[in-house]
Amino acid sequence: MILCNSVCTQSDVMRFIEDQGLFARRITVVPLGCNLPEAGKLSDNEVKRVDDFPFILFVSTIERRKNHRILYEIYAEMASHVDFEKLPKIYMVGATGWRVKDLLDDIELNERVTHKFVLLNNVSDAMLAALYRDALFCVYPSFYEGWGLPVSEALAFGKAVIASNAGALPEASGGCALHLSPYDTRA
């Protein structure tokens, strides 16, 4: 038996099996659960790391396929607007992955927008819970996901979510998020 974490993944697996001329007896979907991070006491150091309200939250490994670049492009395009400073900061929470040096350099070197991005990694469960709790809303513009656990987590914390319409993200949100193309900065 093959276990898949979403109907979307099941469809991908079935298509792969057929394309390879293979046979699978049974493919079953077992959706991911959502164990919320523990809300606990933040350390003094963690309290100092979060001082900007309101903020938008994006929880994900920072890598190309997660599409952090679209957030940079949106803010870079909006930077010349008279009310740009009224926009919230974007907290990108996760380890730095592969092939993102150019994006991180662009953010750091663009003096118009660099102050609008906060990168956090190695956050505790208590810190993650606080970030979800305090976020204005959450975003997840990934190009493709087999599930999208941060979408489910954000919704479980009662946060509004703007997510990509790709892969299993609509399935992970159960229809409770706004889903947009991960390529459309205007949307």
Cα–Cα distance, 170 to 178 (Å, whole number): 9
- Does pTM top 0.85 for this prediction? yes
Q: What is the DSSP letter of 81?
A: S
Residue 51: is its pLDDT beyond 70? no
Q: How far is CA 117 from the centre of its chain?
A: 14
Q: What percent of the chain has pLDDT over 90?
A: 75
Alpha carbon distances (Å) from 159 to 62, 138, 162: 21, 7, 10
Give the closest residue to 92 by CA, choosing from 130, 53, 118, 131. Answer: 118
Token pair of 89, please?
Answer: 């900061």
In the structure, what pLDDT confidence band is assigned to residue 167 with cuts at 50, 70 and 90? Answer: very high
In the structure, what pLDDT confidence band is assigned to residue 37 with cuts at 50, 70 and 90? Answer: low
Cα–Cα distance, 178 to 147 (Å, whole number): 16
**What are the pLDDT digits (tens) for 53-75?**
789 999 999 999 999 999 999 99
More confident residue, 171 or 33: 171
